[in-house]
Amino acid sequence: DVKVTQSSRYLVKRTGEKVFLECVQDMDHENMFWYRQDPGLGLRLIYFSYDVKMKEKGDIPEGYSVSREKKERFSLILESASTNQTSMYLCASSLLSNGYGYTFGSGTRLTVV
């Protein structure tokens, strides 16, 4: 089975800190995605990547950046964390860019204080 591993389950950071959320997949998938999940809003796409060193903005990229230096790793970066970035962050990967076959990580619950 494909595994998508997110490095931290819970994270507490201070306002203004630079925050790195790490995601690693072990099945050589081309595509990787970062979503944030908020009550009543579902999952919203922040950034995605279809290949190494390639990134595309999703629906809510403001305040975030990403890095994909290796195929298996996709990092989400909060340049200067703010309280409105308190959320659950979910990483996903897929082999094909056709919307199905996504595998999700267990999520990182980030609290910015």
Partner 1 sequence: AQSVTQLDSQVPVFEEAPVELRCNYSSSVSVYLFWYVQYPNQGLQLLLKYLSGSTLVKGINGFEAEFNKSQTSFHLRKPSVHISDTAEYFCAVSWYTNDYKLSFGAGTTVTVRA
# residues contacting partner 1 (CB under 8 A): 22
- Residue 76's closest CA among 33, 106, 15? 33
Of 19, 23, 24, 48, the one binding partner 1 (CB under 8 A) is 48
1 is a contact residue toward partner 1 (CB under 8 A): no
Instruction: State in angstroms the smallest separation of the CB of 2 from partner 1.
Output: 12
The nearer residue to partner 1, 45 or 77, going by C-beta atoms, is: 45
Inter-residue contact 14 to 113 (CB < 8 Å): yes
79 vs 107: CA distance, rounded Å: 20
Asked whether the beta carbons of 10 and 108 are under 8 A apart, the reply is yes
Q: Are 7 and 106 in contact (CB under 8 A)?
A: no
Which one of 21-29, 63-71, 73-81, 102-110 is the stretch in contact with partner 1 (CB under 8 A)?
Answer: 102-110
Residues engaged in binding partner 1 (CB under 8 A): 4, 33, 35, 40-45, 48, 58, 90, 92, 97-100, 102, 104-107
